[in-house]
Amino acid sequence: MTTTLTTLLRVFDETNPHVPLLETGDGSRIAQELASIGVRFERWAADAQLAPGADQAAVIEAYRSSIERLQHECGYRSVDVIRLERGTPGTEPLRKKFLDEHRHGEDEVRFFVEGRGAFYLHVGSRVYQTICVRGDLISVPAGTTHWFDMGPDPEFTAIRLFVNPDGWVANFTGNPIAQAFPKLDA
C-alpha cells in the first residue's frame, strides 16, 4: 500500500456541511479539538513493513508492543485487524454498513497502520470529520454518535481493540445527517 496522505480534521456546524468552521492538519490541534468532545486521538509510530498478503496474525505481531500498551492502559481484552487493499471486490456493502449515523455500547478503537478512513463524530451541534491515516489512533467513546467512510475503493489496515467484541454492534439513530456531509474522497 502506498497511500501517503496526512491526517485532516474538519469541524462543521451540523446545519452547514459545505463550509467547515475549522480545517486543520496539525496533529496536536486535532488531538486538542477531539479531546474537547471526549475523543482520544494520538499519532503513533506505524512504520512496520507489512507484506502484501500479511494476515491478521502478522499485523498483530508487527504492532505487538503498541497493542499491549493499549490493552494494559484501557483494559481492552480482544484485538483484530481489518485490512482492505485497493481493488478488493465487493466492499460496497461493508462501506454502507457504517455509513449512517450510529452508536455502540463499546468504545470504537482504531489504530491505522496503513491507508486511511474518515470518522465523523456528531457531538452537540457539530460534526467533526476526522480523516485518519497510517499512525493515527482514535478512540470513540461508547455512546458517541458517529459514522465512518472507508471510501468507494477502500485501502486501509486498522487494528481494532475491544473490551467485549460481542457488544460492538451498530445502533442506528435514524438521523439521515450523514448523507449531507462530504464523503472521504469529496
Q: How far is the CB of 58 from Fe ion (least distance, A)?
A: 25
**Which one, 52 or 174, has the nearer CB to Fe ion?**
174
Intra-chain end-to-end CA distance of the chain, in Å: 21
Closer residue to Fe ion, CB minimum distance, 10 or 104: 104
Nearer to Fe ion, 62 or 157 (CB): 157
Nearer to Fe ion, 107 or 108 (CB): 108
The nearer residue to Fe ion, 108 or 136, going by C-beta atoms, is 108
Q: How many angstroms separate the CA atoms of 10 and 4, rounded?
A: 19
What residues between 22 and 81 interact with Fe ion by CB under 5 A? Answer: none
Amino acid, single-letter form, for residue 101: E
Question: What residue is closest to Fe ion based on CB?
Answer: 108
Q: Which is nearer to Fe ion, 108 or 114 (CB)?
A: 108
Nearest distance from C-beta of residue 146 to Fe ion, angstroms: 6
Residue corresponding to grid cell 500479511: 54
Give residues 81-140 in contact with Fe ion (rule: CB under 5 A). Answer: 108
For the CB of residue 160, give the shortest distance to Fe ion in the complex, in Å: 10
Least distance in angstroms from the C-beta of 165 to Fe ion = 13
Which H or E element spans position 13?
A: strand 8-13
d(CA 136, CA 117): 10
How long a stretch of residues is the chain? Answer: 186
Count the residues of the shown chain that bind Fe ion, applying the rule CB under 5 A: 1
* CA distances to 65, 123, 134 from 39, in Å: 22, 10, 18
Alpha-carbon torsion angle 86, 184, 43, 65, nearest 10: -40
**What is the nearest approach in angstroms of Fe ion to the Cβ of residue 177?**
15
CB of 108 to Fe ion, least distance (A): 5
b/e sequence 131-167, b meaning 16+ C-beta within 10 Å = bbbbbbbbbbbeebbbbbbbbeebbbbbbbbbbeeee
The site for Fe ion (CB under 5 A) is made up of 108
